[in-house]
Structure formats: structure tokens, C-alpha cells
Structure 1
Amino acid sequence: MLAAQTTRGWIADVRAAELAAIAGMPDAARRLGARRGLLVSSPANQSLARMLRERPADFGGVGSIVLGADAVELQADPGGFTGVLHVIGAECFDGFQRLGVLAEAWHSLAVDALASCVLRLEIVCGSDRDRIRGLHDVAHRYVNESTAQDLLIRSPQVLRLMQSDWEGGFFDPRRGTVSVSGGRAWTMADVTRGLACLSAEARPDGMHQVMDQKGLEALWSDHTSALHGSIFHERVEPIGVMRAVEAWHAARRALDAIPKNRRKGHGHLIEYAPDLICWTACRDLRLDELHNPRPNYPWAQAIDHQLPALTVRAADWLVQRYSSVRADRMRPYKVEAPELELWLKLLGLDGARP
């Protein structure tokens, strides 16, 4: 243990073995005055327990255990930086769940395996004790919850885009593309879906995943995934992002303009799987030229004048395919049309899925 005295108590780095017993009693929450008992089945505590088993060194890498105490006595070694802290009249202001997970797992884990598990312990004494207790009781009010989108900044390719020239604007993974001159701006969802739709590398699986918020968050949270790499790759350039989003929006507008009387029967595909149709239509564009700043392809003309007709044609073809492969439909269109299995079957890719 390493310990140092502060203006309001002590701070110490403590090995798991020295803390395991603190929350080991059945009534530990009551004894320590914790705000709530151990939430054994909560997703957060299950993740903590898994981390403790698999990566004990990471268990104490973030956060700290904050205790209040009547008094603290240090039995130090001659150097004054290590030794044993005797905590008298302890109560837990913060970190009881982490302590409880440690206590629950202690008897089933080998002590040697936990040798690298060190937790930061803060102990508050004296006149500051009541104030710090009260602050921890309402600390949740001042926390900006982290989201999957926040993790995009750890992607090397997203970082490269942030540092690129956006012609009078800039790129921020929390805000998407931003124009300082009042021009077009798009959210990160727009950017991701546009790139998924026009990526030459991404299969329809990628377009399917990012249709809803849950799929977007799964992509944003893991920049090491194959799908992330097929959408945000080393060839992505700002001009390509702008073309991709413009094309995706143009294709969606073309679908919206299709009359309602063509959305009946298997035409429900237009209503419930629009991104499949957009992805298919965009296969007829020169996707290999998407990120080329000087392309041998008239992107503006293709998006404005060719893509709407390509989208309608793709819709007609896919609806016809739908009526062919699902002639004896047994389930509602609303349920079936958005399923990836159907998309791959309509595109003839069901036998080639990796």
C-alpha cells in the first residue's frame, strides 16, 4: 500500500486483498452507510465482475473508493510511504458497488491472479466529512453521461477526418459536419449512413446495421470492428463524405416521391426497407471515385439527375424480387421487410454471407 496525507484526510493505493473484507458482511451496506446495497445483477456490476476475473489490473484503473472516517492511524515503514492504514468508524460515500463486487468474487478467485488489482482509496476525516458526503449524494446531477458516439474520437480515421480541410467548415464526431458559413451541415448519423450506403467495401450488412440507433451505437463504440473499417477507412476524404451524404439523401427523397399506390402488397418494401433500395441504387454509381478530389466522374450530375431514376428502378426490381421469393408470405410485411436475411436473399447474397 502507498499512502499520503492530504488536507482533508488520506489517499492510498490499496491492493485488492486489503479491501476485500470491507464489504464482505451481509449487512455491509448498513454498516458502511452506503446509499444502496449491492446490485448483484445490474449490467454495470456484471461487467465489473467480468473485468475483475479477466483483467484484474483494469478493475481499479478508473474511479476510486471514497470513505469517511472518525480517524485514521498509519503504521508506516521507515520510508513513510508504505504501511498499514487503520480506519476507525468507516462509512462509504462512493464505490460501494465496486467493493461489493470485489467481496463477492474474492473467495472464487486466486489471490495470485489479483496481485495486479490495485484500487485508489480516498478517506475523508474531520470538518470536511459532512460536506463531502453530501456532495457524493448528489454527484450524479453533475455527470455528463458518456455515449457510444463519444468513442468515435478514438478511431484513427475519424481523427484524421477531424484534422482534414472541410472547405469553410469542420468535422466533429459529436456534431457531425459543421459549416461556419451557414451552409449544409449533417449529423454523425447522416455521415455514418451516407458512408455505409456508398462504401464500395461495405456489404448491405453495414447499411442494415446502421438503420437504427442501436446499430449506430454498436458501430461507433468499436472502431476495431470490420464494419467500422469498411466505412471509416484510410481513403475516406471530406469531399467523399459530402458526396455520400448528398447521394443518400437524394435516394431517400426519390423513394419518398413514389406514389402511395405503389407501396401496397410487396411494395411495402419501399416503406419498411428504404435503405436496402438506396444501397442497391447506389451500386450503379462510380463508388471507386467517391473520395477522389479530382474524379473522372460527374458526381454532382449523377446525384442530381441520375440517382433518382436509379432509385426508382432499384425499387421496382427489388419489389419484383420480393414477390418472387416470398410468394407465400406468412408474416406481416412490417416485420419481414427490414430483416437482413430477406435483404441478402433479394440481392442473391444469402449464400455468400461471411
Structure 2
Amino acid sequence: MTELAALAAGTDAAQSLQAHRGFLYDSDRTVALARLLEESPEDFGAVGAIVLGADEVHLVPGPSGRFAEHLRADGLECIDGLQRLRVIAEACAVMDPSKLAEAIVKLEILVGTERERARRLHDTADRFVNLRTAQDRLVRCPNITRLMNANWERGSFDPRRGMTSSPHGLSYSMVEVTRALACFSGPGPRLAHEASTAEGLETLWSDQASASYRVLFHPYMEPVGIVRAVEAWREAHKALESLPLSRRSCGHGHLIKYAPEIICWEALRFLPHGELHSPASIYRWDEAISTSVRGATLAAADRLIACYESLFPKSHHYVTKAPQLSLWECLVD
């Protein structure tokens, strides 16, 4: 490990090893890789490899002359894996050597035509690899797996596609499902706020151990609860979209345009959240969604916009102010 670290110890390692990029020390992936080496060194080499090219490779015999104890590679280049090399180099300076020794690294050293082939393929590898996303990894969640295997009657559920009832029937994307469930969370609008942006969804889906994730995707989810939540959420959005453009894009009415989820969250307060996933609920969900959500949404919009104006009468930076969680919390207090 220390020999590998020495290859990338200098600040000019990328140049000397002819790597594509320098050390991306502050990228999220590099930071996560360094944390993995520190916290779970035995897992460090489970995925990914360091691929080196060399002009020549020689076996160096030990003192007895009978067995090779070392490998000498001349004319090294880093075809792939510089980030791993630099993470190892930095870890050598701060980690306990015995802890670092637990790490296993996959290393390839290629020469001749294999070196040329590896260089050519690694240079274009990004064209052939579809990286997994946080949404893809939702299939590993046992609570979502349970939901996938539940009885959806004429439909099915998959977090990569959402819910579908038939080729030409209803369909709910995972974005809609998450935002709808967030609108049934409480007591405050924090989760609705987190789910309101693409970045927030990525963060939420990425950490399945977080309290936020467990509030939305728990062991008691039922297909009927997903359907109720999304139908109510869609009806609330439909009500907001029916408002005149002048109402949605004028003054503090920009709250509708830039922060619709706070209005939907507030509007759906009247529904019995504790019964959302209960198949035995006697509450008339279909009737309430079709007849009451629209009125509740329009009333919530009027109420929150008026509150927004009273709190910040001279606000003009709606595009940045309206989406702020601090504002949402003020509006519903």
C-alpha cells in the first residue's frame, strides 16, 4: 500500500503519471471515497480498480534468489484510478498503518498491446457506463421492496418507474410519490421543502438510514396510501394551476410559482394523515379529494400569500425568498 501511495504522493502526480485529471480533492465522490477508506478499509477495493500502464515489468527475486518478492515497473502511467491513488497517499499520512493494512486494492499493470487497449477503452468508458443514481438504489430498501410486492390490483410499483396501473392508465412517477408523501408529513413543512427540489430529492433518496427517509418510506406503506397521497397532491396542484397567471406571477403571489409545495402541504392538513395507509379507513377519501381539496388549496394559497405579504411587505426577491425553508416555517407558525 505504501508503495502505491508513493506513486501519487507529489502534487505533480497527475502530470508525471500522464493521468487525465488532477486530484479532485473536493468532489463529493472523492470525499466519500476517502471516508470509506478511513471508516471501512476492508471495503475500499470491493468496487473499482487502479489500472496502470508500464513500459516494462520485472520480477525482483528475494535474498534467496529462489522466489520473486518484488515487482519493478518502469515507465508507469495511470490509465485509471488516480483519485484512488491520491486518497491512499493522503491516508498514509494520517491513518494508523495497521488500519490502512486492512485495505485491499485491485491493481492491474498492463504492458504492450494490452496497455494500448486499456488506454483506448478507459479513455471512452464514460460513453458506455450508465451510473446508478439514488433513485435506482431505492430498490434495495426493504420497505419499498415490500411495496413493490404488495397487491396493486391492476397496477404495479417500481421506484425506477413509479406506479403504473395499465399501459394507458394512471401513472405516478417516483418524484410525484415522494413529494405527495412529503405533503402528508409533519408537524412542520421541512420534508415537503426538502422534496420540492431535485437536489433535495437526491439527498433524501441517498440516505435510507435518515430520519427523513424513514418518515416517508416506512414499513406500513400500502398501495392505497400511495394512491390517496398522489391523487390529493395532484388535485392540489391542479387547483393552483387553474388560477389566473396574474395571480400566480404578481407580487407575493409568486409564492404559488416558486413554492407550490408549501401551499399543497398546508392545504392537505385537513385530511386524516394517520389513516393515509389504512385500508380499513372509513374516511371518504375519494369524495374529499374530488370535492374538498380544491377549495382547501385555494384558501391555503390566499392565507399564505397574505401572511407572506404581512411578514415581508417590501419583498421583491421572490425567486430566492419564496423557496426558503425559514419562510415556510414562518408562514405556517
TM-score by length of 2: 0.87
- 1:175 CA drift (Å): 1.1
Match of 2:173 in 1: 187
Distance 1:105 1:290 in 2: 49
Counterpart selection for 1:239 from 200, 203, 224: 224
Check 1:44–1:228 CA distance in 2 against 1; reply closer, same or farther (3 A cut): closer
Q: Name the aligned partner's letter for residue 201 of structure 2.
A: L
1:68-217 mapped onto 2 (5 Å cutoff): 68-69=53-54, 70-73=56-59, 83-199=69-185, 201=186, 203-217=188-202
Decide which of 236, 246, 249 is 2:234's aligned counterpart.
249
Q: Which whole-Å CA distance do the structure 2 matches of 1:81 and 1:273 have between them?
A: 70
What is the SS of the residue equivalent to 1:148?
Answer: coil
Deviations 1:97-135 (A, max 9, x none): 211232244234332331212211123345433222322
Give the corresponding residue for 2:48.
63
Question: Which ranges in structure 2 are unaligned for 5 or more consecutive residues?
Answer: none
Identity of aligned residues (%): 47
**3-state SS in 2 of match to 1:60:** coil
Distance 1:289 1:82 in 2: 70
1:239 is matched by which residue type in structure 2? Answer: V
Q: Secondary structure at the match of 2:51?
A: strand
- Aligned 8 A contact 2:53 2:110 in 1: yes
Report if the CA contact (8 A) 2:57-2:71 is conserved: no
**Could you tell me which of 6, 15, 21 is aligned with 2:6?**
21
Letter in 1 for 2:20: R
2:142 and 2:317 mapped to 1: Cα distance?
A: 42
Aligned in 2, Cα 1:250/1:68: closer, same or farther, shift over 3 Å? Answer: same
Specify whether residues 85 and 289 from structure 1 end up closer, same or farther in structure 2 by C-alpha distance, changes over 3 A only.
Answer: same
Indicate the RMSD between aligned Cα atoms, in angstroms: 2.9
Structure 1, 317-326 or 160-169: larger mean CA deviation: 317-326
Deviates more, 1:238-247 or 1:281-290: 281-290
Of 235-244 and 102-111, more deviation after overlay is shown by 102-111
Aligned pair in 2 of structure 1 residues 136, 81: CA closer, same or farther (>3 Å)? farther
Deviations 1:132-151 (Å, cap 9, x if unpaired)? 23222222211112222122
- Aligned residue for 1:66, secondary structure, equals strand
State how 1:235-314 maps to structure 2 within 5 Å: 235-263=220-248, 264-314=250-300
Q: Deviations over 1:33-57 (max 9, x none)?
A: 4334434444433443344344433
Q: For each residue in 1:251-280, what CA deviation from the matched residue of structure 2 results, as whole angstroms up to 9, or x when unmatched?
A: 111122223454544333333322111111
Structure 1, unaligned runs of 5 or more: 1-15, 349-354
CA distances 1:271-312 after superposition (whole Å, capped 9, x unpaired): 332211111111111222221223201111111111111111
Retained in 2: the 8 A contact 1:202–1:231? no
> Structure 2 vs 1, CA of residues 82 and 254 (structure 1 numbering), >3 Å: closer, same or farther?
farther
* Mapped partners of 1:54, 1:173: distance in 2: 30
Deviations 1:214-264, CA, capped at 9 Å, x for gaps: 111111111111111111112211111111111101011112222345454
Q: Deviations over 1:309-336 (max 9, x none)?
A: 111122222233334333x434433332
Letter in 2 for 1:103: A
Structure 1 residues 226 and 108: CA distance shift in structure 2, 3 A:
closer
Structure 1: which amino acid aligns with 2:330?
K
1:137/1:279 CA distance change after superposition, 3 Å: same
State the 1:67 CA deviation: 2.2
Q: Aligned partners of 1:332, 1:136: CA distance in 2, in Å?
A: 46
Distance across 2 between alignment mates of 1:298 and 1:330 = 41
Q: Check the 8 A contact 2:92/2:100 in 1, yes or no.
A: no
TM-score under structure 1 length normalisation: 0.82
Cα 1:127–1:322 shift into 2, 3 Å: closer
Compared with structure 1, are the counterparts of its residues 315 and 110 closer, same or farther at alpha carbon in structure 2 (3 Å cutoff)? same
- CA 1:81–1:314 in 2, change beyond 3 Å: closer, same or farther? farther
SS of residue paired to 1:119? coil
C-alpha distance after superposition, 1:182-241 (max 9, x if no partner): 211111101111111124x56311111111111111111111111111111122111111
In the other structure, the counterpart of 1:5 is none
Q: Work out whether residues 202 and 227 of structure 1, in 8 Å CA contact, stay in contact via their aligned partners in 2.
A: no
Count of matched residue pairs: 330
List aligned pairs for 1:338-353, cutoff 5 A: 338-348=323-333
Instruction: Choose the corresponding residue for 1:227, options 196, 212, 216.
Output: 212
